[in-house]
Amino acid sequence: MNEPSGTEHYSGVSKALHWLIALLAFSQLAMGKFFEVEADEGDSLFGWHTALGLLVLALMLVRLGWRLTHTVPALPRTTPAWQQVAARATHIAFYVLLVALPLSGWLLTSVEGDPVSFFGWFAVPPLPVPGGEASEDLIEEAHELLGNVLLVLAGLHVLAGLKHHFLDRDDVLRRMLPGSG
């Protein structure tokens, strides 16, 4: 087994945030893609979709703060430089997407000027929408594009983890699994 340099496993907080955000993001993508959640249909899934989007945003801000203040395991020393660059770029892209996607959704729901309900507990005020309703289609397209990019990136991320586990036979995948460490 190739040994990583530095910390061997992610912290429990890092793992919990990773898997919770992944679960929420996949549920959001499923609602958006397979159930075609639309605000104007009055679908109760839309309320869940918007509230969960705000939860993803909040958790991502916590995750970003945690990541900036805690070390993460290094890739194994035998990992080629291009794969290290690709891994770093992928993680940065995840952070950008998982903040931009909920923000674009919040912006999209703000077009009408209505607050967003957070599971009925409280209302989050609408964001100022540049261009108002005239930019609604553009915001909707951006939101959908960001979701598609996230889906592709997540697929590549999973494949990279499986490659590390089955082909490289290192502990890159295992150290992020619950119960490891």
Concatenating the DSSP letter of every residue in 36-82 gives ---GGGT-HHHHHHHHHHHHHHHHHHHHHHHHHHS--PPPBTTS-HH
Spatial separation of the C-alpha atoms in residues 108 and 116, rounded to whole Å? 11
**Torsion over CA of 140, 141, 146 and 147, rounded to 10 degrees?**
70
Pick 12-176's CATH classification: 3.40.50.1390, 1.20.950.20, 1.10.10.10, 1.10.287.540: 1.20.950.20
Closest CA to 37 of 59, 21, 52: 52
**pTM, two decimal places:** 0.90
Closest CA to 178 of 16, 3, 7, 8: 16
Spatial separation of the C-alpha atoms in residues 15 and 180, rounded to whole Å? 10
Q: What is the pLDDT of residue 42?
A: 55
**Residue 157: how many other CB atoms lie within 10 Å:** 16
**Domain spans of the chain?**
12-176
pLDDT in tens, 93-142: 999 999 999 999 999 999 989 899 999 999 999 999 988 788 999 999 99
Spatial separation of the C-alpha atoms in residues 35 and 78, rounded to whole Å? 43
pLDDT in tens, 56-92: 999 999 999 999 999 999 999 999 999 999 999 999 9
pLDDT in tens, 142-168: 999 999 999 999 999 999 999 999 999
Structural contact between residues 45 and 35, judged by C-beta atoms closer than 8 angstroms? yes
Spatial separation of the C-alpha atoms in residues 42 and 27, rounded to whole Å? 19
Spatial separation of the C-alpha atoms in residues 16 and 177, rounded to whole Å? 10
Spatial separation of the C-alpha atoms in residues 170 and 99, rounded to whole Å? 30
